[in-house]
Structure 1
Amino acid sequence: MTEAGGVVLLGLGPGEGRLLTREAWEWLQAVPEIYVRTELHPVVQELPPSVRVHAFDWLYRQGSSFEQVYATIVEKILDLARRPEGVTYAVPGHPLVAEATGPEILRRARAEGLPVRVIEGVSFLEPTFTALGIDPFPRLVLVDALELGTWHVPSFPPDAPVLIAQIYDRMSASEVKLTLNAFYPDEHPVVLVHAAGTSRQQVEHLHLYEIDRSPHLGLMSALYVPPLGPATSMEAFLEIVAHLRAPDGCPWDRQQTHQSLRSHLLEEAYEVLAAIDANDAAALQEELGDLLLQVALHAQIANEEGTFNFTDVVHGIHQKIVRRHPHVFGALQVEGVEGVLRNWERLKQAEREANGQETRSLLAGVPLALPALTQAQELQDRAARVGFDWPEIAPVWEKVREELEEVRTAPDDEAREKELGDLLFAVVNLARWYKVDAESALRATNHRFRQRFAHIERRAREAGRVLGEMSLAEMDALWEEAKDNEKGNPSAAEA
């Protein structure tokens, strides 16, 4: 290689000279100099005295980001590789395992036509598996702590074992812990492995909340996270749904179609709303699961028909969310919620034009199947986004009074029905101005009516009375009694 130039990517192993490969040792004895990403790796101190070592640790000390450090190293090694004598670049472990610079140097050198030789090294993985006493097959997930720490939720299924590399200090451990906490409880058992494959190896069994308290964290630390348990991942759930639809699955599920499941989807959505209205967290958890089942069933049916699959659904909504939130995932600046909504409409119109769709009404996207109150509020919201709205609430109140008077003075039943509809629409607008969801407000009122009327029924039974034989005044007194009871039980009044 010295005549043709190029680069040798050499693995220094996990941390001690005894784990260097024979090929690596022979090469290190033959070359006059090498470049290492870091001289902090223990093997650097055991290299043959004849080899001159150049290290890039000074880049880290400059305080640059890891990305900038790695980019600088890659450019420097490629420059050296263009020399007639080429360059040997050595890194901890294996040159292509948990190593940001090695794969990029390999890719760039090959693209440029530079000769490349990879001298294998024992990575940190093998001694880590030995320290843990595990076989990584069939499902171990490998994750970089530097990437995982930037996420809000883990990027892997929690029913699989995970090995997280490069937990090099308390800050990175804390960031990883916060991300894992989105799925895993504080008390979840985990294992920290330090300096695997060396005489300094340490294995710590501890709980997740303790990982950033370990005094042994360093450049050679990795975290093993055992599975959270069966039936805890979306992938496992999709497998269950696919099994239901398989030839050996459930006869009822196998018969379902998009059309036959329509009523079930609507029912489950309303049960989610009921759990929200009741402020019942346990019920909400269960009902969201039932609703998710409907989504998964529709995706499975579509997959069987060859139209789309669950991955397509996820990809589509992922792309849409990112595209429609340039103020979050891009550089766009917007002012408040109103600015977000106005930009949202512009983006949707641009999407329609890009897809060759005809310009359609701003209100066309409001589903006709929505409950009337929800539909009315959404229509008003969309019109308001483009300025079709009163500038203050006073005219809104005046419109409600106007519509109420028109109901009172309607000349016949047909006109009265129309005016009642206008009155309801005006009241929905009033709710919108007060930042109240009209559908939720009415559902809450319906619930209170049920509770109060149930009180009347119960008190009538206690008195041995038949409800239909009681006077309105008697029932009204019990109604007021129910309201008084609510004052002593605020949660009932809020329900």
Structure 2
Amino acid sequence: MATKGSLVIAGTGIQWAGQTTHAARTAIEAADRVLFAVADPWTVQWLRGLKPSAESLPYASGDTPRRLIYQEMVQRILAPVREGLRVCAVFYGHPGVLHDAAHAALRQARAEGLPARMLPGVSFLDCLYADLGVDPGQHGCQVHEATDFLIRGRAFDVHSPLVLSQIAAIGNPGFFDAANTERIQRGLRVLSEVLRRRYPASHEAIIYEAAVLPIHPPRMTRVTLEALATAAISDVSTLYVPPLGPAPVDEDMLALLGMSSGDGTIRSTLGGD
């Protein structure tokens, strides 16, 4: 009887090795075939130290539509699984955060009856919470991919932190080109205009980039929404927009929950309000 292949989708974290979970490392070492799509040469070197035969997944540049590259990635991942091999597909950060190919490969493998699972990892969002001191349990947190945020007219709450990822790729179906400043600035200009409908032009946001190496600090550059269109950004830049202040408390709801003291004060702390 032929051996049934299996798939594990794993992440390296943002800072390779130091943020790679024990479960992910074990999956990499135990796999018959390791395929990867990571963001820096240090991670590649580290992966090949664990698995010398590890292979890079296709990651073209230029005007090639990302969806076509992702489709090719999925086929490269699934081919050895169908042959009966234990495959570990490795992505940087959390494999389930901003990795369309990882999700597509997982869905397709399961649809074909092949054992497949995803292991959680450290994402840019986890790093942002730590570096900026953001507690999503205090005021909530809204997270959107920037282009999706704009083209779908996503509703958002100005009293809750807003995180917009991939701000350098707004309106770009291909891959990031730092030389295409016209496209990058157009996207930032539109984003600035949309945000200024709800926030003051002087409201300060933060352009954030998690540190890839432990010896380097993260980037945390403050910029007003008015000046966002001309800000210097890279392909890994995220925009963090702080809340305007705590949301108003519904006194009727407090009373219904038995949390009102009768004079409008709150018996327990609600997220620091």
1:24 Cα deviation from its structure 2 partner = 2.1
**Residue number in structure 2 paired with 1:413:** none
Seen in structure 2, the aligned counterparts of structure 1 residues 41 and 177 have a Cα distance that, compared at 3 Å, is farther
1:89 and 2:89 aligned: yes
Once superposed, what is the RMSD of the aligned Cα atoms?
3.1
Contact 1:192–1:211 under 8 Å retained in 2: no
Contact 1:31–1:51 under 8 Å retained in 2: no
Determine which of 207, 222, 225 is the counterpart of 2:238: 222
1:227 Cα deviation from its structure 2 partner = 1.6
**Residue number in structure 2 paired with 1:55:** 56
**Residue number in structure 2 paired with 1:304:** none
**Residue number in structure 2 paired with 1:35:** 35
Seen in structure 2, the aligned counterparts of structure 1 residues 41 and 174 have a Cα distance that, compared at 3 Å, is farther
Q: Which moved more, 1:82-91 or 1:197-206?
A: 197-206
1:197 Cα deviation from its structure 2 partner = 5.9
Structure 1, unmatched stretches of 5+, are 247-495
Contact 1:195–1:201 under 8 Å retained in 2: yes
**Residue number in structure 1 paired with 2:19:** 19
Contact 1:93–1:124 under 8 Å retained in 2: yes
1:69 and 2:85 aligned: no
**Residue number in structure 1 paired with 2:4:** 4
Task: After TM superposition, list the pairs within 5 Å mapping 1:88-487 onto structure 2.
Answer: 88-138=88-138, 139-151=140-152, 153-168=153-168, 171=184, 172-196=187-211, 198=213, 199-215=216-232, 217-229=233-245
CA distance in 2, matches of 1:157, 1:194: 23
| Superposed CA offset, 1:107-130 (max 9, x none) | 222222111132332122222111
Q: Which consecutive segments of 4 or more residues in structure 1 shift more than 4 A?
A: none
SS of the residue corresponding to residue 34 of structure 1 reads strand
SS of the residue corresponding to residue 73 of structure 1 reads helix
1:135 Cα deviation from its structure 2 partner = 0.8
What amino acid does structure 1 have at the position aligned with 2:219?
A: Q
CA distance in 2, matches of 1:144, 1:48: 31
CA distance in 1, matches of 2:45, 2:193: 36
| Superposed CA offset, 1:121-168 (max 9, x none) | 2122222111101211141111112312434x4432222211122234
| Superposed CA offset, 1:277-303 (max 9, x none) | xxxxxxxxxxxxxxxxxxxxxxxxxxx
Contact 2:162–2:242 under 8 Å retained in 1: yes
Seen in structure 2, the aligned counterparts of structure 1 residues 117 and 174 have a Cα distance that, compared at 3 Å, is same
CA distance in 2, matches of 1:105, 1:143: 22
| Superposed CA offset, 1:382-414 (max 9, x none) | xxxxxxxxxxxxxxxxxxxxxxxxxxxxxxxxx
| Superposed CA offset, 1:14-46 (max 9, x none) | 133211112222333344642223454752232
Contact 2:127–2:210 under 8 Å retained in 1: no
Contact 2:31–2:87 under 8 Å retained in 1: no
Q: Which moved more, 1:23-32 or 1:92-101?
A: 23-32
Seen in structure 2, the aligned counterparts of structure 1 residues 166 and 3 have a Cα distance that, compared at 3 Å, is farther
CA distance in 2, matches of 1:83, 1:39: 28
Contact 1:109–1:115 under 8 Å retained in 2: yes
**Residue number in structure 2 paired with 1:339:** none
CA distance in 1, matches of 2:191, 2:53: 38
What amino acid does structure 2 have at the position aligned with 1:191?
A: I
CA distance in 1, matches of 2:199, 2:136: 21
| Superposed CA offset, 1:172-216 (max 9, x none) | 54443343233223211111111346425211122123334333x
Contact 1:34–1:51 under 8 Å retained in 2: no
Seen in structure 2, the aligned counterparts of structure 1 residues 39 and 209 have a Cα distance that, compared at 3 Å, is same
Structure with bigger helix share is 1
Structure with bigger strand share is 2
Q: Once the two structures are aligned, what percentage of the paired residues are identical?
A: 26
CA distance in 1, matches of 2:75, 2:3: 21
CA distance in 2, matches of 1:106, 1:185: 43
Contact 1:11–1:24 under 8 Å retained in 2: yes
Structure 2, unmatched stretches of 5+, are 170-180, 257-273
Seen in structure 2, the aligned counterparts of structure 1 residues 115 and 32 have a Cα distance that, compared at 3 Å, is closer
CA distance in 2, matches of 1:82, 1:203: 44
Q: Which moved more, 1:27-36 or 1:217-226?
A: 27-36
SS of the residue corresponding to residue 210 of structure 1 reads helix
SS of the residue corresponding to residue 54 of structure 2 reads strand
TM-score (norm 2): 0.72
Aligned length: 235
**Residue number in structure 2 paired with 1:284:** none
SS of the residue corresponding to residue 136 of structure 2 reads coil
SS of the residue corresponding to residue 137 of structure 2 reads coil
SS of the residue corresponding to residue 4 of structure 2 reads coil
CA distance in 2, matches of 1:205, 1:190: 6
